[in-house]
């Protein structure tokens, strides 16, 4: 709250009940609106109301003077309101000026630009539906263009790397694999174990009714190796490593580190994107195999504790149900998932603008886009494998 | 006789329908300290990004050492750049930052690279900071390290974006001295973007001043002469730190 003591003008404690600071306007060719007393921010709301009511009747072409001769003090906030009302009047064609102000008050009028020609503020027009559609469409196409340009850069960088493998940022590869692979083992193991466990439980309730307990091994084995193992592991890496890539590269982008790389003649894609992409394409299949294994172990636990199956029987049934292709198809998927996670998150990182907020926005976009793409790719693989009877 | 290292002709820059500068023409002589000045939003940093090839200009021509507009994708650039905040890579030590280009663009053995890095750091007064991470050093030290990195490949030309902005007066003066020394002793051509008047007046031999309102270069010459005798009121206001006449 504004302190009345900071008001410009003579100092006078406010002891009596507040009386109106705005005298009624005497209309005419040259109307006057007299202001009086202490115009301070604690009374701003009532001053604002009185002021607006007083000038409501002013007509286009009328000249209205704000007589400040009886103003004892005025503070910045209230002066801002007065200047605003003057601007509103100007927009209505009423010429309003501050007159007879004391030296101190005049200084404040000058500070708040109340003594210059009011600038007509352009009203921000609400964007029409058609223009909004147009804007969003243009934004969409420019994003598509950015993505295509990025993919083009990646292709060029890969070709350059194949031509001159020594130019690769290989020393970044191993630490990135460690960060995205080895460090992710605990969470991958836990999530996939629980997925296998839950699936076995849900399946067991149905299969028990038909005395087909043993087929829980088929259910868990097939669904984990073909679908859930690769997908869940990819989702974990999307949230864990993909988001980290987007945030890391986004931060580098906003702090001009990527520009610095470019000015040093390094291709940022070759230097930053390729090691990350290669690392994810290498670690995701390994993590997927690990996920498959622990997912099936989750099924074993349910089989042994709830379905009275022995470890040997469960293993034998799994062995019968699974074919090499089931595991291999999951591994193929995981390689492509790794590629998708790395490219999307790096592209989002490279597209970051606008400081910390931009980094957050792009990180979120990276996770959402990657999840959507993973599901889409998974559906695509399922249809493809189905079409070829695989 | 002047020997232009950079020739800019009819440069127009901006984005979409925003024009920051129209038809800017100037040159930078070899071996001089040249400053690009102007108030906030006049396009100083955009001009720098155009000059170093990070962004293409909307129009006009830029030629560095007679080679044309720099193509950063073509390989080793003929200049070094210091960005405003240093832009050191946070995951690398100061020494690794300086040595990065040496590893990429030279065939020097590791030991020799280490020696060059230490020498560059010593030159900029960062003796012993080689193994520190950027997060462990001050703003002034970051800028010095960034200059050392920009000089790693011994370029003839150095671009500096706001070298003394955000530094305390002593660090700013020390950085100015460093730039002058590099210019005098190594013959480096330095192009700097700044609005730090004491720094400009101390180190720049020539300057151009960009103006936001007219989207043009409103002054060119020795900054001290512009301060003392420019007939242009905007230049006078800028150099004498006066509020803009309304």
3-state secondary structure A87-100: HHHHHCCCEEEEEC
Is residue A141 predicted with pLDDT exceeding 70?
Answer: yes
Q: Decide if A259 contacts B87 (C-beta within 8 A).
A: yes
DSSP B219: E
Q: How many CB atoms lie within 10 A of CB A84?
A: 16
pLDDT reading at B185 higher than 90: no
Interval A48-57: pLDDT, tens: 888 888 888 8
d(CA A214, CA A300): 11
**Beta carbons of A262 and B75 less than 8 Å apart:** no
If one compares B51 and A76, the residue with the highest pLDDT of the two is B51
- How many residues make up chain A in this entry? 390
What angle in degrees, to the nearest 10, is found between the helix axes of A229-237 and A185-209? 150
Which two three-digit tokens encode residue B94? 């100061």
Chain-chain contact of A256 with B84 (C-beta, under 8 angstroms)? yes
What's residue A243's pLDDT? 95
User: Looking at CA atoms only, how far is residue A345 from chain B in angstroms?
Assistant: 19
Across residues A312-340, what is the average pLDDT? Answer: 93
- Whose CA is closest to B220, among B17, B62, B29? B29
Query: Does A263 contact chain B (CB < 8 Å)?
Result: yes
* Nearest chain B residue (CA) to A269: B73
Instruction: Supply A5's token pair.
Output: 């003591």
* Min Cα–Cα distance to chain B from A138, Å: 13
Tell me: the pLDDT tens digits for A253-306? 998 899 999 998 888 999 999 999 999 999 999 999 999 999 999 999 998 988
Per-residue confidence at A368, pLDDT binned at 50, 70, 90? Answer: very high
* Chain B interface disruption, residue of A160, A260, A355, A356, most B CBs within 10 A: A260
The alpha carbons of chain A give a radius of gyration, in whole angstroms, of 36
* Average pLDDT of the residues in A323-332: 92
Measured CA to CA, the distance from residue A64 to residue A23 in angstroms comes to 13
Most confident of A21-30, A109-118, A228-237: A228-237
User: Rounded distance, CA A307 to CA A313, Å?
Assistant: 11
A388 SS3 class: coil
A382, A383, A384, A389 alpha-carbon torsion, rounded to 10°: 90
Q: Note the ipTM here.
A: 0.72
B149 → chain A, closest CA residue: A264
The residue with tokens 């074993």 is A300
With H, G, I as helix, E, B as strand and everything else as coil, classify residue A2.
Answer: coil
Least confident stretch, A235-249, A268-282, B225-239: B225-239
pLDDT level of residue B244 (50, 70, 90 thresholds): low
pLDDT at position B30: 93
Beta-bridge mates of residue B61:
B9
By the CB < 8 Å criterion, does A260 face chain B? yes
Distance CA B100, CA A271 (A): 11
Per-residue pLDDT, averaged over A163-168, amounts to: 88
Is A99 within 8 Å of A68 (Cβ atoms)?
Answer: yes
Q: A262: which chain B residues are within 8 Å (Cβ-Cβ)?
A: 54, 72
B164 Cα to chain A: minimum distance (Å)? 17
Asked whether the predicted pLDDT for residue A18 surpasses 80, the reply is: no
Say what the pTM is.
0.71
The percent of residues in chain A predicted with pLDDT above 90, rounded, is 51
How far is residue A224's CA from residue A230's CA, in Å, rounded to a whole number?
A: 8
DSSP string, A162-229: HH-GGGS-GGGHHHHHHHHTGGGHHHHHHHHHHHHHHHHHHHHHHHHHTT-GGGHHHHHHHHIIIIIH
At residue B38, what are phi and psi to the nearest 5 degrees? 150, 165
The two structure tokens encoding residue B49: 């990004």
Whether chain B has a CB inside 8 Å of the CB on A262: the answer is yes
Region A20-28: what's the mean pLDDT? 71
**In this structure, what DSSP letter does residue A266 have?**
-
Report, as an integer, the average pLDDT of A138-158.
93
Give B16-43 pLDDT, tens digit per residue: 778 899 999 999 999 999 999 988 888 9
Of the two residues A386 and A15, the one the predictor is more confident about is A386
Of chain A, the percentage scoring pLDDT greater than 70 comes to 92
């Amino acid at each position: 709250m504004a302190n009345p003591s900071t008001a410009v003008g003579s100092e006078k404690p406010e002891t009596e009940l507040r009386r109106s600071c705005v005298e009624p306007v005497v209309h005419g060719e040259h109307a006057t609106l007299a202001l009086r007393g202490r115009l301070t921010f604690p009374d701003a709301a009532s001053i604002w109301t009185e002021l607006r009511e007083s000038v409501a009747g002013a007509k286009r072409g009328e000249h209205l003077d704000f007589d400040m001769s009886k103003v004892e003090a005025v503070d910045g906030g209230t002066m801002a309101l007065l200047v605003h009302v003057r601007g509103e009047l100007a927009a209505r064609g009423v010429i309003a000026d501050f007159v007879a102000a004391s030296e101190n008050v005049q200084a404040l009028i000058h500070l708040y630009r109340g003594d210059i020609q009011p600038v007509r503020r352009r009203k921000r027009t609400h964007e029409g539906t058609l223009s909004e559609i147009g804007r969003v469409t243009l934004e969409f196409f420019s994003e598509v263009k950015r993505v295509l340009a990025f993919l083009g850069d990646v292709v060029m960088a890969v070709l350059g790397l194949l031509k001159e493998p020594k130019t690769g940022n290989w020393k970044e590869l191993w630490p990135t694999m460690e960060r995205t692979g080895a460090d992710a083992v605990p969470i991958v193991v836990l999530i996939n174990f629980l997925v296998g466990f839950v699936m076995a439980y849900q399946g067991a309730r149905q299969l028990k009714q038909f005395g087909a307990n043993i087929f829980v091994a088929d259910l868990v084995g097939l669904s984990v190796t073909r679908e859930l193992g690769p997908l869940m592991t990819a989702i974990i890496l999307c949230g864990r490593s993909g988001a980290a890539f987007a945030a890391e590269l986004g931060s580098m982008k906003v702090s001009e580190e990527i520009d610095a790389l470019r000015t040093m003649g390094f291709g940022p894609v070759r230097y930053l994107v390729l090691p990350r992409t290669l690392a994810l394409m290498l670690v995701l299949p390994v993590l997927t195999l690990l996920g498959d294994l622990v997912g099936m172990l989750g099924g074993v636990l349910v089989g042994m504790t709830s379905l009275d199956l022995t470890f040997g029987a469960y293993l034998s049934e799994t062995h019968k149900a699974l074919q090499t292709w089931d595991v291999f198809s999951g591994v193929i998927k995981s390689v492509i998932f790794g590629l998708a996670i790395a490219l999307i998150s790096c592209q989002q990182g490279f597209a970051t603008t606008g400081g910390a907020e931009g980094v957050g926005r792009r990180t979120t976009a990276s996770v959402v886009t990657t999840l959507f793409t993973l599901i889409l790719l998974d559906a695509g693989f399922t249809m493809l494998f189905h079409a070829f009877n695989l | 006789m002047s020997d232009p290292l950079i020739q800019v002709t009819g440069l127009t820059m901006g984005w979409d329908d925003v024009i920051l500068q129209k038809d800017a023409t100037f040159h930078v002589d070899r071996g001089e300290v040249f400053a690009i000045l102007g108030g906030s939003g006049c396009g100083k940093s955009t001009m720098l990004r155009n000059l170093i090839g990070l962004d293409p200009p909307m129009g006009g021509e830029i030629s560095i050492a007679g080679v044309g507009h720099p193509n950063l994708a073509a390989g080793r650039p003929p200049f070094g750049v210091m960005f405003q905040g240093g832009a050191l890579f946070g995951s690398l030590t100061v020494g690794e930052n300086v040595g990065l280009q040496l590893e990429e663009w030279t065939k020097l053995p590791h030991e020799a690279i280490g020696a060059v890095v230490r020498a560059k750091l010593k030159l900029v007064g960062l003796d012993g900071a080689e193994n520190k991470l950027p997060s462990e050093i001050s703003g002034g030290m970051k800028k010095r390290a960034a200059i050392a990195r920009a000089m790693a490949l011994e370029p003839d030309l150095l671009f500096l974006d706001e070298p003394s902005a955000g530094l305390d007066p002593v660090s700013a003066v020390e950085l100015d001295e460093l730039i002058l020394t590099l210019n005098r002793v190594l013959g480096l051509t330095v192009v700097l973007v700044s609005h730090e008047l004491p720094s400009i007046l101390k180190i720049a031999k020539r300057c151009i001043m960009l103006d936001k309102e007219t989207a043009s270069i409103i002054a060119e010459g020795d900054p001290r002469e512009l301060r003392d005798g420019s007939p242009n009121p905007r230049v006078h206001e800028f150099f004498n730190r006066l509020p803009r006449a309304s």
